Amino acid sequence: MRLNFIEKYTYIDKKVESEKWKFDLGNSSYDLSQRVLIMAILNRTKDSFVDHGSYFAFDQFLKKAEGHVKDGADILDIGGVKAGPGDAVSQEEELERVIPAVIALKERFDLPISVDTWNATVIDESFRAGALLGNDISGFSDPMYIESAKKHGGSLVATHIRLRPRVMDPSPTYDSVVDSVTTFLESKIELAQDLGVDRSRIVIDAGLDLGKTTPQSLELLRNTRRLIDSLSRPLLLSASYKTCLSDLYDLPVDQRGAISLSGVFWGVLNGARIVRVHDVRETKLGLLTLDRIIQRERKSWETR
């Protein structure tokens, strides 16, 4: 989605920052200085904390994907194992959940597919099946993950996490959470580049709620602009239905939609250019409304 207010309202200086906003995905190259990509969350899990497996069945999963596409998604992000603690999911079961989904979405929709996995074998098979982006919340804990991206020409999300996925981290401590996350992500970008992945194929995610308390996650959200400036890569914001926002009001999961949108809009106004969300339609309408408010002209309202 192209948004005309971005250039005027945010802090972009095209003369010095053109590479900061370049994101290569498959055969496409995006200039994220003037657009936002909406990444739609598609869980093929039985125990998602948001949908509780309501579209785990394959026909329901496809209907959910079709709805996201109609609502304006730019990327479809498939996950076969939830990030938090829960019942064990074998590699074979994750493959059975994810690979048919990748194939089906690739056949039906002309949109890039991302796979939310930290398993190197799963991402390798996903790239083979047509996925273009590996969304690894483990911070590339397995270097073979990066090797797979290099082999298939895939792109990567480098995410900060303190321990590892599916492990509780109730009392994380940092001297400075922003500095720690920046240093961690810088090392992961360098690792991916050293292993042959082009810098333009890497985006960053601060990992809200992943080994952070609510104050720590909010500190990272407030410093979205600083993270982007320090690392010179587009930032993927995954704030949708996160505990760090709901804790402000002690809200149950099914009432987190509005506060999730507030987090998204704050992030975009401060430089986030990929937003990973559950509510695609609401996100798109909200961003287009921001565009109209700031531009004050109907003619400025453009969609992709």
The residues spanned by each domain of the chain are: 37-278
Proportion of the chain above pLDDT 70, given as a percent: 91
In this prediction, residue 65 carries a pLDDT of 97
Q: State the average pLDDT for the chain.
A: 90
Q: What is the largest CA-CA distance in the chain?
A: 53
Return the pLDDT at 50: 75
Average the pLDDT over 206-212 and give the result.
95
Q: What is the pLDDT of residues 112-131, one digit of tens each?
A: 999 999 999 999 999 999 99
The answer to whether the beta carbons of residues 212 and 244 sit under 8 Å apart is yes
Question: Is residue 293 pLDDT above 60, yes or no?
Answer: yes
141-169 per-position pLDDT tens digit: 999 999 999 999 999 999 999 988 878 88
Query: For residue 100, how many other CB atoms are within 10 A of its CB?
Result: 14
Q: What CA–CA distance (Å, rounded) separates 204 from 235? A: 5
Hey, what are 15's tokens?
């003369």
Block residue for tokens 């969609």: 303
Buried b (16+ CB within 10 A) or exposed e, 251-268: beeeebbebbbebbbebb
pLDDT at 303: 44
- Residue 17 pLDDT grade (very low, low, confident, very high; cuts 50, 70, 90): low
Phi, psi of 44 (to 5 degrees): -105, 60
- Residue 273 CA to residue 31 CA, distance in Å, equals 10
DSSP helix/strand/coil, 21: helix
Question: Strand, coil or helix: what is 62?
Answer: helix
Q: What is the pLDDT of residue 302?
A: 46
pLDDT score of 296: 58
Partner residues linked to 76 by β-bridges: 40, 113
Task: Considering only residues 235 and 86, tell me which one the structure prediction assigns the higher pLDDT.
Answer: 235
pLDDT value at residue 88: 87
Is the CATH code 3.20.20.20 the one for domain 37-278? yes
pLDDT digits (tens, 9 = 90+) for 259-288: 899 999 999 999 999 999 999 999 999 999
The count of residues in the chain is 304
Position 12 scores a pLDDT of 43
13 pLDDT more than 80: no
Other beta carbons within 10 Å of 191 = 15
- Quick: pLDDT tens for 19-60: 789 999 999 999 998 889 999 999 998 877 677 768 889 999
Cα–Cα dist 298/97, whole Å: 43
Place of tokens 């992943």: 210
Task: State residue 156's pLDDT score.
Answer: 98
Residue closest to 231 by CA, chosen among 184, 161, 164: 184
At a CB cut-off of 8 Å and minimum separation 6, what does 195 contact? 143, 146, 147, 150
Give the pLDDT confidence score for residue 7 in this predicted structure: 52
pLDDT of residue 60: 94
Q: Detail the DSSP E strand segments found in 128-229.
A: 133-136, 155-159, 202-205
Q: What is the pLDDT of residue 11?
A: 43
The string of pLDDT tens digits covering residues 57-101 is: 999 999 999 999 999 999 999 999 988 777 889 999 999 999 999
Per the model's pLDDT, the better-predicted residue between 14 and 50 turns out to be 50
